[in-house]
Amino acid sequence: MTAEAPNSTMIQVTPKDEELIALLKADSREPVASLARKLGLSRTTVQDRLARLKEAGVIAAFTIKLAREAEDGGMRAFVTLAVEPRRQVELGRRLARFPQVETLHTVSGKFDLIAQVRTVSSEDMDRLIDEIGQIPGVTRIETSVILSTKLDRR
């Protein structure tokens, strides 16, 4: 696997780098010594790999994942949007102003954008969907409420 660094140079991501990244996805706070043991590498080698991957932009940030109890409040949904031609950038800016919009992706197929949203209640979800549907350029909207998450590898 190769990755393009921010300065437009390509770096080679090795299978060991991919193993390291997978371990960090599972627990980004795992100590370097523990990562080294699991990878069969020295602590210094793992530190060097981490530095190289961060400098190259392959690893953009380390983050936390909330426990299910802290994360499960409210209601989540995927909102798919069909957008008038040439209105997608403007619409993306407008959607970014909604704190309830957690992610926004361009997609192929019959829709142009898909957003993952979170609200406190079903009434708030209904109000949010109505507000999004009123944004100029939205031609069609479809909402799928998330009932449960069976697998999340983020």
Would 2-56 and 68-145 be classified into the same CATH topology?
A: no
User: How large is the average pLDDT for residues 35-39?
Assistant: 91
More confident residue, 66 or 143: 143
Above 50 in pLDDT, residue 64? yes
Phi, psi for residue 43 in degrees, rounded to 5: -60, -40
Residue 13: the pLDDT is: 85
Select 68-145's CATH number: 3.30.1330.10, 3.30.70.920, 3.20.20.100, 3.40.630.30: 3.30.70.920
Q: Which CATH architecture has domain 2-56?
A: Orthogonal Bundle (1.10)
Residue 141: the pLDDT is: 96
Task: Give dist(CA 59, CA 66) in Å, integer.
Answer: 20
Q: What is the pLDDT of residues 138-150, one digit of tens each?
A: 999 999 999 888 8
Please state the pTM of the whole predicted model: 0.58
Task: Tell me the domain boundaries of the chain.
Answer: 2-56, 68-145
Q: What is the pLDDT of residues 106-137, one digit of tens each?
A: 999 999 999 999 998 889 999 999 999 999 99
Above 60 in pLDDT, residue 4? no
Above 50 in pLDDT, residue 8? no
Task: Give dist(CA 116, CA 137) in Å, integer.
Answer: 19
Task: Give dist(CA 141, CA 144) in Å, integer.
Answer: 10
